[in-house]
Amino acid sequence: MITKTECCTIKSEDIEDAIVLEGSPGVGLIGNIIGWLLVEDLKMKEIGYIESKYFPPLAVLYKGVAIHPFRIYEGDGIVLFLSDFIVPPNVVYDMTGAIVDWMDKNNSKELITFNSMVVREKSQATAAAGNTENATKRLEDMGLPILPFGNINGLSGTLLTQCASKNIPASCLFAEILNPYPDPRAAAEVVDILNKMLDTTIDPEPLLQEAQEIESRLKKLAETVQSEPESPIYM
Amino acid sequence: MITKTECCTIKSEDIEDAIVLEGSPGVGLIGNIIGWLLVEDLKMKEIGYIESKYFPPLAVLYKGVAIHPFRIYEGDGIVLFLSDFIVPPNVVYDMTGAIVDWMDKNNSKELITFNSMVVREKSQATAAAGNTENATKRLEDMGLPILPFGNINGLSGTLLTQCASKNIPASCLFAEILNPYPDPRAAAEVVDILNKMLDTTIDPEPLLQEAQEIESRLKKLAETVQSEPESPIYM
Amino acid sequence: MITKTECCTIKSEDIEDAIVLEGSPGVGLIGNIIGWLLVEDLKMKEIGYIESKYFPPLAVLYKGVAIHPFRIYEGDGIVLFLSDFIVPPNVVYDMTGAIVDWMDKNNSKELITFNSMVVREKSQATAAAGNTENATKRLEDMGLPILPFGNINGLSGTLLTQCASKNIPASCLFAEILNPYPDPRAAAEVVDILNKMLDTTIDPEPLLQEAQEIESRLKKLAETVQSEPESPIYM
Amino acid sequence: MITKTECCTIKSEDIEDAIVLEGSPGVGLIGNIIGWLLVEDLKMKEIGYIESKYFPPLAVLYKGVAIHPFRIYEGDGIVLFLSDFIVPPNVVYDMTGAIVDWMDKNNSKELITFNSMVVREKSQATAAAGNTENATKRLEDMGLPILPFGNINGLSGTLLTQCASKNIPASCLFAEILNPYPDPRAAAEVVDILNKMLDTTIDPEPLLQEAQEIESRLKKLAETVQSEPESPIYM
Amino acid sequence: MITKTECCTIKSEDIEDAIVLEGSPGVGLIGNIIGWLLVEDLKMKEIGYIESKYFPPLAVLYKGVAIHPFRIYEGDGIVLFLSDFIVPPNVVYDMTGAIVDWMDKNNSKELITFNSMVVREKSQATAAAGNTENATKRLEDMGLPILPFGNINGLSGTLLTQCASKNIPASCLFAEILNPYPDPRAAAEVVDILNKMLDTTIDPEPLLQEAQEIESRLKKLAETVQSEPESPIYM
């Protein structure tokens, strides 16, 4: 199926009744780190990609094969929208529209997106927020601390409000991070919550074990990201 | 009802014969501070929002629920257009057209917008200006000092002139501020005037009590606003 | 009558056979200073305005009433196009087309525009230039020194050449200024010339009397003008 | 005849079988200096101009009369496209298309354009290049040193390749300059070559005589040009 | 045949069943250096060029003749797309579409593109990656080290993914470079691999012999490349 808006095109298989996850890089790279872990752990299959002339020109190497920088995966009834670059702000509104249209046509059950929260000290608890009072209540009932006030930017923010307009429940999980660098440990904590929400047994161990190694590798990349807002990033 | 211009869309219930208030963040955040107070004090109901691909990608958390960054509220015959980000200058003209069209179709009685005036010393008096000689005379008759000369920028300015073109009386209230930081005390003084104009009893006490607390929280936000005009903000 | 181009709209009454003056702010603010003086002295009536989504969002306060930032006035057979902001360079070509169309349809007799010339020492003489050999000869016959070579930027420049294409005679008067700050004294000298050309008795006294006061008020405005990177430069 | 492209319009008389020269300001202002000399020496007649909303808003004063900043002249079977500002890079491709269309329709014989080459020491020889092997051979046969490798930017470069697409022979003459300032002496050397190519007797003496005077006057202007790439320049 | 997209046009002869090489300048100028060597060594014939109003205005001198800055050559069943400027990022997506359409219509066998990899120490081995598992396996079977992870930006990246969408096998060869300067030695190593892939005997000797000379000439060019803010970065 092809879903088009003015500035981007989704070319993807149709997956009915899925839970949709979105993992695009933000501060801390949480969504991107979780996304790659899920692809590996759930052995997800690539079912499509998003194309746009407004994306940075970029291919991503995965096991020596060049793949699209914004891919769509599926596994166990879960659909994952995974990008390896920061979606340019002027594309976000339109792309969100394309993703939510895809979900609407495919009768997706709900959306889960990831974000981060810079804190002075970690409380060891992943905060959450929903896109309706019911969605938020459900998260509260799961024992998650609710983030009452604040701003949610990027794809996360527009996905929450546009899903609400189509009556699709959506949640955002906020990893606690101490600084703007990629943080696989914080991502691992979010994975624990995700396992509860999805009733999965995704193993966050790779993130914890490789944390140090990943941290040093990503730190260099993150510095590039900081200094050049529009440039592609890769884990 | 949907009101569309080239760059933005108003999706909102129709409210006939309302007094319309506009509160978008400017220097001192006066309109935004007053807007949030009114939502709480008058227990206003969200009746719609404005959408635009030219807005920064952003959702706002309110009691743990993600809401649109530019919302429309109603309560006691008052309609409030409330945004939590600085409307990009290139969108202002078109968006003003959409708001004034909405008012025209809904037979709105008048518009009140907020602005600020940086002064060396506070005179304890909120100045005002109208969009016709009659509108200004009415403000003068209420005992308000009139701001004779100067420039009014942002949504305030274009709303005043475009309302005049549709024969809708409009006023602008100027809070006195000492510096460009958010100033709930200055906003509280404007609320006193607003109570006279609207014949309401909105209690500015929360602003005064929480002034110090709000000041420190908003100071951080304002710095972000100052340094990156188009970028999304996160708490 | 409505005159439209791709980027702006003139909404104005029709005035036949008028002499048209244009006063938009340039270095020295000459045109703007003279424009405001004429509005007061000739008790000119506002007959319309120019609107554009490419203008900065702005209203101007005049005696406590918010007015359009680019207005059109009429009095004694003289029409004045008066703006209170620097017209963005990318709008100038199109707007000039709209103004010249308006003049063509209304059979305007001639156009007079204002500019300035930074000199080391004032010669006490306002230089002039025309848009055809005849137009220049007429200025010479009036005893005005002719500026032989140089560049004329902003609305002044494009108005001169586009008027020539429609066979409308046009002149530009160059005030001598010592620095880029607003200069009511230099404007007063231009008013003397203007009185000859228009056969009027506009009193430049207010400019001379208030020079010091105006100088301090306008200096602040000029600083804004200075910092805008796209502002027109002259010779 | 009117020749239009998406971004500019040529309004000009038709001149059949002409040799076309193009003189727009580049480093050293060579083309512009030569163009003005030709207008004077050959007593060329203005036959039209190029208009574009993408040009800087500008008129040029010539003997007290405001003229278009990009004019077309004719004299002795030679047509000259002469601009007094640097054509903005985003307009060059389209404008070149309009000029080459005009030449194609008017059966122009050939095109000569001017450029410069910054050298450490002058060799007293103007280098040349053509847009086909034949064109280059002809220049070589005239005893001109050929510039074998390098880049030709601005109107010069695109005119050469687009003329080739329409089978119009074209040459570029490169003045040797020591620094990026306007260089009438270097232009005078190019005039010697031009006299051979056109079989004319244009006198470069005014350039040599006034070199010092022009140099000091232009130096100031050139500094402006250096610091503000998009601003209008004038000889 | 003319292949058009929204922003560029390919004007070229048709060459069926070719192996297509792409050489546009990136960090190290590898593709561009190899491209020019191939033109000389294989005595390739210019069969067309790519035109776009979004290209910088530029002609390139080759043996005293001005040629298009983005040319297409053919020789021995090999087609080469060779540009002498960095393709602006906003044109890359569309231009890639035009090139891949051309390949699709002309039944091209495969695509080979060039990139570079900044390393601390040279391993004397050119790494490679393909656009499908088969393409990568073939490169591995040729004894080439495979680059497992990373980003491929510029034309290289988008050509790989868009070729995959049309089922055209494509490979990218990564020269090892120590710094971002032009590196003919690194290019020479890639030529050795290319000879295996194409079954050719292109002599890299000129690159090795002239390395020093070329290095100094290209260093100047590279500095220009460095200062351009929009230039692509790689890993």
Angle, CA of E81, E85 and E89, to the nearest 5°:
90
Buried b (16+ CB within 10 A) or exposed e, C135-168: bbebbeeeebebbeebbbbbbbbbbbbbbbeeeb
Q: Does C222 touch chain D (CB under 8 A)?
A: no
How far apart are alpha carbons C106 and C77 in whole angstroms? 12
- Whether D219 shows a pLDDT value over 90: the answer reads no
CB–CB contact B59 A158 (8 Å)? yes
Chains that touch B (3 or more CB pairs under 8 A): A, C
Which among B95, B6, B82, B10 is positioned nearest to B40, based on CA atoms?
B82
Centre a 10 Å sphere on the Cβ of residue C38 and count the other Cβ atoms it contains: 24
Q: Which residues of E31-70 are buried (b: 16+ CB within 10 A; e: fewer)?
A: bbbbbbbbbebbebebbbbbbbbebbbbbbbbebbbbbbb
Task: State the Cα–Cα distance between residues A8 and A95, nearest whole angstrom.
Answer: 6
Residue D31, both tokens: 């083309």
Residue carrying the six token digits 């003279």: C34
Show the tokens assigned to E71: 């040319």
Query: Over the stretch B120-164, which tens digit does the pLDDT of each residue have?
Result: 898 878 999 999 999 999 999 999 999 999 999 999 999 999 999
Q: Which two tokens stand for residue A138?
A: 């459900």
> Region C210-220: what's the mean pLDDT?
67
The confidence band for E179, taking pLDDT boundaries of 50, 70 and 90, is: confident
What does the pLDDT look like over D119-170, one tens digit per residue?
Answer: 989 887 899 999 999 999 999 999 999 999 999 999 999 999 999 999 999 9
User: Is the Cβ pair D59, C151 closer than 8 Å?
Assistant: yes
Whether C185 shows a pLDDT value over 70: the answer reads yes
In whole angstroms, what is the distance from residue A189 CA to residue A175 CA?
7
- Which residue on chain D is closest to E11 by alpha carbon? D165
**Cβ–Cβ of C67/B93 closer than 8 Å?**
no
Look at A209-218, C196-205, D210-219, D222-231 and tell me which has the smallest mean pLDDT.
Answer: D222-231
pLDDT at B229: 38
Stretch 169-198 of chain B: residues touching chain A, C-beta under 8 Å: none
Instruction: State how far the Cα of B230 lies from the Cα of B220, in Å rounded to an integer.
Output: 16
Number of A to E CB contacts under 8 A, please give it: 85
Q: Is the ipTM of this complex over 0.85?
A: yes
Q: Please state, rounded to an integer, the average pLDDT across all residues of chain E.
A: 90
**In the structure encoding, which two tokens stand for residue D145, read together?**
């040193």
Q: Among B16-30, C26-40, C64-78, E221-235, whose mean pLDDT is lowest?
A: E221-235
Q: Does D58 touch chain C (CB under 8 A)?
A: yes
CA dihedral E124, E129, E134, E135 (to 10 degrees): -90
Candidates C89, C96, C149; nearest CB to D56: C89
Q: Is B133–C56 a contact, with Cβ atoms under 8 angstroms apart?
A: no
Q: Which pLDDT band holds residue D228 (cuts at 50, 70, 90)?
A: very low
Q: E39, E62, E65, E227: best mutation site toward chain D, by most D Cβ within 10 Å?
A: E65
- Measured between beta carbons, the chain C residues lying within 8 angstroms of B161 are 49, 59, 66-68
pLDDT of residue B228: 41
pLDDT in tens, chain A (235 residues): 788 888 899 999 999 999 999 999 988 899 999 999 999 999 999 999 999 999 999 999 999 999 999 999 999 999 999 999 999 999 999 999 999 999 999 999 999 999 999 998 988 789 999 999 999 999 999 999 999 999 999 999 999 999 999 999 999 999 999 888 888 999 999 999 999 999 999 999 999 886 777 666 666 666 655 544 333 332 2
| Contact assignment for B151 to C52 by CB distance below 8 Å | no
Chain B residues with CB inside 8 Å of A134's CB? Answer: none
- DSSP one-letter string for chain C: -EEE-SS-EEEE---TT-EEEEE---TT-HHHHHHHHHHHHTT-EEEEEEE-TTSPSEEEEETTEEE-SEEEEEETTEEEEEESSPPPHHHHHHHHHHHHHHHHHTT--EEEEEEEEE-SS--S--EEEESSHHHHHHHHHTTPPB--SEEEEHHHHHHHHHHHHTT--EEEEEEEESSSS--HHHHHHHHHHHHHHHT-----HHHHHTHHHHHHHHHHHHHHHHH-TT-----
Record the tokens describing residue C94, joined without a space: 């199109």
Q: Is A229 on the interface with E (CB under 8 A)?
A: no
For chain D, the chains sharing at least 3 beta-carbon pairs closer than 8 angstroms are C, E
Per-residue confidence at E231, pLDDT binned at 50, 70, 90?
Answer: very low
E151, A84: Cβ pair inside 8 Å?
yes
Nearest CB neighbour to E61, from listed D96, D129, D133: D129
**pLDDT over 70 percentage in chain E:** 90
CB A115 within 8 A of CB A152: yes
User: Which DSSP symbol is given to E146?
Assistant: B
The answer to whether the CB atoms of B151 and C63 lie below 8 A apart is: no
pLDDT average, residue stretch C199-228: 74
Contact: A64, E156; criterion CB under 8 Å: no
Residue D220 pLDDT more than 70? no
* A90 vs B contacts (CB less than 8 Å): 53
B121 burial level (CB within 10 Å; 0-12, 13-18, 19+): exposed
* Amino acid at residue number E25: P
CB atoms within 10 A of CB E203: 14
**What pLDDT does E162 receive?**
97
Answer whether C touches A (≥3 Cβ pairs < 8 Å): no
Work out whether strand B78-83 and strand B19-23 pair parallel, antiparallel, or are unpaired: parallel
For E14-52, what is each residue's pLDDT tens digit? Answer: 999 999 999 999 888 999 999 999 999 999 999 999 999
The whole-angstrom separation of Cα E22 and Cα D45 is 49
Chains sharing 3 or more CB pairs under 8 A with chain C: B, D
Sequence-distant (6+) residues with CB within 8 A of A75 are A38, A42, A43, A44, A45
Residues of chain C contacting D8 with CB distance shorter than 8 Å: none
CA distance D80 to D73: 5
Cβ–Cβ under 8 Å, residues C48 and C70? no
Largest CA distance in chain B: 46
Percent over 90 (pLDDT), chain D: 77
**Tens-place pLDDT, residues D115-124:** 999 998 988 7
Mark residue C119 as left, alpha or beta (left: phi above 0; alpha: psi -120 to 50; beta: remaining). beta
- Taking CA atoms, E127 is separated from A204, C54, E174, in Å, by 32, 51, 5
Q: Closest to A234 (Cβ–Cβ): which among E130, E135, E151?
A: E151
- Is residue B202 within 8 Å of residue B41, measured between CB atoms? yes
Q: Do chains D and E touch (3 or more CB pairs under 8 A)?
A: yes
Rounded Cα gap, residues E155 and E26, in angstroms? 9
| pLDDT at residue E190, as a whole number | 96
Other Cβ atoms within 10 Å of B167 Cβ, number = 9
CB crowding A83-119: b at 16 or more within 10 Å, else e: bbbbbbbebbbbbbbbbbbbbbebebebbbbbbbbee
Q: What is the mean pLDDT of residues B172-181?
A: 91
Distance from CA of A100 to the nearest CA of B (A): 15
Amino acid letter at B19?
I
Q: Is C225 on the interface with B (CB under 8 A)?
A: no
Which range, of B92-101, B210-219, E102-111, E151-160, averages the lowest pLDDT?
B210-219
Cα separation, E43 vs E38, whole angstroms: 7
Residues from chain C that touch B156, judged by Cβ atoms under 8 A, are 59
Chain B residue closest in CA terms to C56:
B89
pTM recorded for the entire structure: 0.88
**Average pLDDT of every residue of chain B:** 90
For an interface test with A, the pick among B58, B60, B83, B221 (most A C-beta atoms closer than 10 Å) comes out as: B58
Chain A positions touching B68 (Cβ under 8 A) are: 161
Min Cα–Cα distance to chain A from E212, Å: 32
Contact A65 E150 (CB under 8 A): no
Among residues B81, B63, B64, the alpha carbon closest in space to that of B72 is found at: B81
Q: What distance in Å separates residue B67's CA from the closest CA in chain A?
A: 6
SS3 state of residue A94: helix
**Tens of pLDDT along E57-116?**
999 999 999 999 999 999 999 999 999 999 999 999 999 999 999 999 999 999 999 999
Q: Is the pLDDT of residue D217 over 70?
A: no
Residue B80 scores a pLDDT above 80: yes
Distance from CA of A61 to the nearest CA of E (A): 5
Instruction: Read off the tokens for E159.
Output: 């050509």
Q: Which residues of chain B lie closer than 8 angstroms to A94, CB-CB?
A: 53
Using a pLDDT cut of 90, give the percent of chain C over it.
Answer: 77
CA distance C187 to C189: 5
Query: pLDDT class for C69, splitting at 50, 70, 90?
Result: very high
Q: Which of D87, D61, D234, D51 is nearest to C157 (CA)?
A: D61
Q: Is B5 helix (H, G, I), strand (E, B) or coil?
A: coil
Residue type at D91 in one-letter notation: V
Which residue of chain D is at minimal alpha-carbon distance from E48? D165
Q: Which residue of E has its CA nearest to A69?
A: E151
Confidence of residue E4 (pLDDT cuts 50, 70, 90): confident
State pLDDT tens for residues B16-41.
Answer: 999 999 999 988 899 999 999 999 99
CB of A155 less than 8 A from some CB of B: yes
Does chain D reach chain C with at least 3 CB pairs under 8 Å?
yes
C220 touching B, CB under 8 A? no
Q: Which of D130, D147, D151 sits opposite E58 (nearest CB)?
A: D151
- CA dist C163 and E220 (Å) reads 48
> How many other CB atoms are found less than 10 A from the CB of residue B199?
8
Find out whether A69 and A83 touch, Cβ atoms under 8 Å: yes
Q: Do A89 and B233 touch (CB under 8 A)?
A: no
Q: Which residues contact B44 (CB under 8 A, 6 or more apart)?
A: B38, B73, B74, B75, B78, B80
**CB spacing of B152 vs C59 below 8 angstroms:** yes
pLDDT category at B97 given cuts 50, 70, 90 is: very high
Q: Is the pLDDT of residue D235 over 80?
A: no
Q: Please say whether the beta carbons of E116 and E24 come within 8 A.
A: no
